[in-house]
Amino acid sequence: MTAASSAIAAAEVFAYADEKIKQAAVELWPGGTVQLGQHTPSVTAYVRRLTVDGRPLYAKLSLLGLSLVSVLRGTAGDWTQVRAAQAAYQGSPGSLLEREARGLAVLQEAGARACRVAGSLGGVLFTEPVTGPTLADLLAKDPHQTGELMTRAVVELAGLQQPAVARAVDEAAITERGISSTFDRKFNGISGPTYLRKAGQADEVLSAVVLRLRRLRPAPAAGHRPVVYGDLKPDHVVFPDGADGRPVFLDPGLGRGRPQTDAAKLISRTVLSLIASSPDLVTADATATGIEEFAVALTVDLAPDERAEWLRHLVVLWLMDTTNILSTYLTSPPDLPLPEHAGKLTTRVETVCSLLEITTAGLVAGTDPRAVWRLALADVVKAANR
């Protein structure tokens, strides 16, 4: 595995982001004492802890609505060009973080709990921290709760389907974080092969997987499309009152999508965390069983043929998301710090690629989606325990 070289130095970008964060904080809280804290590694936005007069906050800055990996690779030009474009972007209506702030308010309007926005200025979004274990923490501690907790996370978001809430989402949709839109952006016919070559030794397998997923991806959904959270990861669901309490949601990517969207991303990231942690067989089996229970809960009212089609779309979106994030990790410049689980995952690339290859092959061969689903979960257990 080889890391892609950086066209723009991460240190330059981080220094710029820190300055923007300090400027925004000083303007929002005049006379306050601003102290920057720990940087939170991310491949998407620049995130940093800080305090203002002792009040703990998180600050987030997004460059042009792109991932940090894309910016550092030079996708948007050199650093001079990026800075000039960012000056225009952060002042324009509808920037990514402006929509994210609106999304946090919409979540509360929908009856869900969301982290509180403390302020937003100059392209920087400030939010209050939410203390407590994340869904990822709880699943690692007790994998036998997997099905129940994943189901509860999705059920908590049912209020997003209210007509007034859906209209509000449509006015501030975050399409940038969608599974399909990200896949199309990364693996289009022009730059996709060049991009994958930066993934090192995983290039060949990922290229084959991408071709299969392009064939398998469902046609655009006709008729009504539900509102989806859009970025439902285990780390974005926090349980401040413990596993028995209601969750609080972070970093929404609200928009319209297929009914399987949120479940697919939640399963994708749960499986990747499981593989990265190299658990024992009991833990791996309990997690996979819980994921099956989660899918059963979401499809309990469907007829057998409808459930088969639902599972087919679920598996395709799951594998697309896994391909999206794995390729991001593998093409990340070496000077960009990765989250801990991402660093561990890059050491198990062959295992993840094998899972992607086997499962996409089954779908392309026309195997019954219900059988593909069962086999995929069995392969998850093997991959995690390998």
What does each of the 386 residues of the chain score in pLDDT, given as a tens digit?
Answer: 445 556 899 999 999 999 999 999 999 999 999 999 999 999 999 999 999 999 999 999 999 999 999 999 998 999 999 999 999 998 888 999 999 999 999 999 999 999 999 999 999 999 999 999 999 999 999 999 999 999 999 999 999 999 999 999 999 999 888 899 999 989 987 677 888 888 888 889 999 999 999 999 877 766 789 999 999 999 999 999 999 999 999 999 999 999 999 999 999 999 999 999 999 999 999 999 999 999 999 999 999 999 999 999 999 999 999 999 999 999 999 999 999 989 899 999 999 999 999 999 999 999 999 999 999 999 999 999 87
> Is there a domain that residue 4 lies in?
no
- Predicted confidence at residue 366, as pLDDT, reads 92
Q: Provide the domain limits for residue 171.
A: 10-385
- Residue linked to tokens 């349980």: 239
What are the DSSP calls for 284-340, one per residue?
Answer: HHHHHHHHHHHHHHHHTTS-HHHHHHHHHHHHHHHHHHHHHHHHHHHTS-TTSPPPH
- Predicted confidence at residue 193, as pLDDT, reads 82
- Predicted confidence at residue 192, as pLDDT, reads 79
- Predicted confidence at residue 201, as pLDDT, reads 83
> Is there a domain that residue 5 lies in?
no
> Is there a domain that residue 376 lies in?
yes
> Is there a domain that residue 111 lies in?
yes
- Predicted confidence at residue 176, as pLDDT, reads 85
- Predicted confidence at residue 284, as pLDDT, reads 96
* pTM assigned to the model: 0.95
> Is there a domain that residue 82 lies in?
yes
- Predicted confidence at residue 1, as pLDDT, reads 44
> Is there a domain that residue 325 lies in?
yes
Kindly compute the dihedral angle of the four CA atoms of residues 47, 61, 125, 234, in this order, to the nearest 10 degrees.
Answer: -50
> Is there a domain that residue 1 lies in?
no
Q: How many domains does the chain have?
A: 1
User: Can you tell me whether residue 354 is helix, strand or coil?
Assistant: helix
Residues 289, 181: Cα–Cα separation, whole Å = 30
> Is there a domain that residue 267 lies in?
yes
Cβ atoms of 71 and 43 closer than 8 Å: no
Residues 122, 258: Cα–Cα separation, whole Å = 34
- Predicted confidence at residue 197, as pLDDT, reads 85
Residue of 384, 208, 231, 250 lying closest to 321 (CA atoms): 231
Residues 6+ apart with CB under 8 A from 224: none
